[in-house]
Amino acid sequence: MPTETLSDFFRQKQSKSAAASTAIDWGQRRRELVEHLEELYKTIEQYLAQSIRERSVSVSYSTKPITEDHIGTYEVREMVLQVGDERVVFSPKGRNIAGVGGRVDLRGPLGERTLVVQDGKWSIIMSRTPTPKLVPLDPDSLLSALQGVMTL
């Protein structure tokens, strides 16, 4: 029979949570994600530079709020690609994602792909089963991801 009560259990959890929360600089983590997002967008614009010059794709940005435990609510930019009448959005999901330093969902008419940042480098999750297959972001992997979410 347990000797601990629910009140004891929750008090211990709250105490541990408060201690962990003060040990982590959540503001710094938020700033890191914003920096990584800006680097991602700059990289994608470089990959698309010729298409942008040829006006076969246009790039715009909108802001969106993200609310995360410990970090709170903050605003980030979403990158929007317009190709003809099709729209593709790179939509950040947050910083506190298990095992990675941030996540962005690439959404298009045919579905979604996920980009993650680890150690300052962006990758695309090409498949999730049986284990996640991460491919470093480069022009070819970006093309493959876009082909997976856009109509032909």
Domain ranges of the chain: 26-149
CATH of domain 26-149: 3.30.920
Instruction: Identify the pLDDT of residue 18.
Output: 62
Q: Is the torsion defined by CA of 19, 24, 30, 33 positive or negative?
A: negative
Q: Which residues of the chain have pLDDT under 50?
A: none
Instruction: Identify the pLDDT of residue 25.
Output: 83
Instruction: Identify the pLDDT of residue 22.
Output: 62
Instruction: Identify the pLDDT of residue 3.
Output: 67
- Which neighbouring-strand residues pair with 53? none
Going from the C-alpha of 69 to that of each of 27, 63, 87, 146, the distances in angstroms are 12, 20, 30, 31
